[in-house]
Structure 1
């Protein structure tokens, strides 16, 4: 981000950096305020990919789905970075367009995503398949993320939780309990309720 801001004058770069830091700090506690800060940065540096990405991420967290799509697509067009495909897909879902979310899994850039970003995309697209009533297809998408309990991939805790949830929805309770338990084993802090979900199914 620092390198991208070098294209601006120093006073402008300093102001934009301050807005971006403020947006980042507010993102979890007050996403609408974070979005205001990110928009202020955009008003000063609309051609900087990192700024457009910051607006897109803040808009996503503030549930401004159309703005999130516009900004994240613009950031991708400027930088060529596709790491936010999962946010794009989830925004499409939120707008009631699950088929559009599913199409993003066919994007050529998916193969170049880092493992965690790819896993997040699998989870979102599986959710879109479920929106469409396609449970078997959802399970198949999640299986692409890796179901080897001996060698968990990055993001496996959340992926296995989603897989277990889909199995339960499909009436496969015993398998669901096993995968909730596998997810819980990767979650020592209890960020998810996988252990409780496993216990409820036993």
Structure 2
């Protein structure tokens, strides 16, 4: 453990969850969670070890189980990811990690089960960011099954709005463009991929300070995206979809007027309950198989 690691470096909300532990134990667990966060990108294997260490002393704390799951996902242990996230859902009562569960089912080569799991929750109860991540994961599962048209339909949700950029917009636009290319519509796909790049640039500019600190005006040439409703929604089987209706995302880091008039395609989704809940020691969990790359959550 590096000398510069302090328990107070942990997120305030996460620290609050550790208050049920003794101070000594809470500080010990907090340091390991801090290290897991530091190392998750550069050394996921080491980050996972820190998460497991935290789990040995605080296995009933939801943020600990969540951290184990996230680091397990990063090292490709999708079976452990699923097991830990089932426990996390039971302890916390939250569905915010459902997209990661769906993507882990894909990583285990079970796209049908991934779709069933994605249908197990009413998506209207999810935050916009989670809803987008779930749509991308569900779309990837459709691609795994060789259903590109259905994959496109999974992405046609209210958040697919090319007039605004939120933190989730670049990934959603890029996924939509990729599926269009898979459908043999490269010109349309290229426009959405270009729009994804523009949204990312706009958000980066916002992060570094826009004109008013909240929005960034796009001054470069508009991307020529059709004003029509994105194709493909009506072609997806009715049995595979659930009507969401008009649901607007809560503004986060909004960037208005990316290009063209406002548009918000409807989303439709499938639902199901996930598998049984397991709470075995994380270190005894089976290892997952190689992950499928399409639309990784």
State if a TM-score over 0.5 links the two structures.
Answer: yes
| 1:105 CA drift (Å) | 2.5
Q: Which residue is 1:89 aligned to?
A: 102
The equivalent position to 2:24 in structure 1, one of 2, 6, 11, is 11
Q: CA deviation at 1:190?
A: 11
SS where residue 37 of structure 1 aligns?
helix
1:174 counterpart SS class: helix
Cα displacement string for residues 15-59 of structure 1 (whole angstroms, at most 9, x for unaligned residues): 111111111111111111111100000000111111111100110
- Mark the CA change 1:153 to 1:23 in structure 2 (over 3 Å): closer, same or farther: closer
Alignment partner, residue 155 of structure 2: 142
CA 1:153/1:104 → structure 2, altered by over 3 Å: closer, same or farther? farther
In structure 1, distance between residues paired with 2:162 and 2:102: 27
* Regions of 4+ moved over 4 Å: none
8 Å CA contact 1:161–1:183 kept in 2: the answer is: yes
Indicate the structure whose relative CO is greater, using CA pairs within 8 Å and at least 6 residues apart. 2
Q: Relative to structure 1, is the Cα distance of residues 162 and 145 closer, same or farther in structure 2, using a 3 angstrom cutoff?
A: farther
In terms of mean alpha carbon deviation, does 102-111 or 63-72 score higher? 102-111
Which of structures 1 and 2 has the bigger CA Rg? 2
Shift of 1:138: 0.4
Q: How far does residue 5 in structure 1 lie from its aligned partner after superposition?
A: 0.6
How many Å separate the matches in 1 of 2:167 and 2:128? 6
How does the TM-score come out when normalised to structure 2?
0.61
Change (3 A) 1:182 1:144: same
Alignment of 1:50-89 (within 5 A): 50-89=63-102
What SS does the corresponding residue of 2:192 show, helix, strand or coil? helix
Scaled by the length of structure 1, the TM-score of the pair is 0.89
Matched, 1:114 2:108: no
- Distance across 1 between alignment mates of 2:79 and 2:72: 8
Return 5+ residue gaps in structure 1 as ranges. Answer: 192-197
Contact 1:119 1:154 survives alignment (8 Å): no
1:48 aligns with 2:61: yes
Q: List alignment gaps of at least 5 residues for structure 2.
A: 1-13, 205-222, 224-297
Of 184, 187, 191, which residue of structure 2 is paired with 1:174? 187
In 1, are the aligned partners of 2:173 and 2:196 still within 8 Å (CA)? yes
Contact 2:165–2:203 (CA under 8 A) maintained in structure 1: no
